[in-house]
Amino acid sequence: MTLENEPFSNFHDLTEHVMAVKRAHEDELLSKANVVGVGIGYRRIGGEVTPDLALVVMVSSKVSPDQLLQTDLIPTSIDGVPVDVQEVGDISAY
């Protein structure tokens, strides 16, 4: 069980690491343009769910990187944890 070449002895250690990374970077990610949420889930590639845990950054709409300020770009990984950007639309509470 690995996360970008970092071995973990069990699933609990892996999820604890991913949760710690989420807590440490959630506010920064939420401050970026279009970001409406940050969670933990399984990475999707081409619409298919993979077995890889990832930080899931939810955006109202996906836009081309050249339409964003450098400070609003979302990294592909943070502290060894893959980042999966998923378009979810606008989220509102009722």
- Look up tokens 């081309």; give the residue: 64
pLDDT tens figures, 60-72: 999 998 999 999 9
Can you spell out the DSSP letters for 21-39?
Answer: HHHHHHHHHHTSTTEEEEE
End-to-end CA distance of the chain: 40
The structure's pTM equals 0.84
Can you spell out the DSSP letters for 77-93?
Answer: EETTEEEEEEE------
Task: State yes or no: pLDDT of 1 exceeds 50.
Answer: no
The string over 2-36, giving b where at least 16 C-beta atoms fall within 10 Å of a residue's C-beta and e elsewhere, is ebeeeebeeeeebeebbeebbeebbeebeebebbb
For the chain, what is the radius of gyration of the CA atoms? Answer: 14
pLDDT tens figures, 19-49: 999 999 999 999 999 999 999 999 998 889 9
Does 3.40.720 match the CATH number of domain 2-87?
no
Sorted by where each begins, the domain ranges of the chain are 2-87
pLDDT tens figures, 68-84: 999 999 999 999 999 99
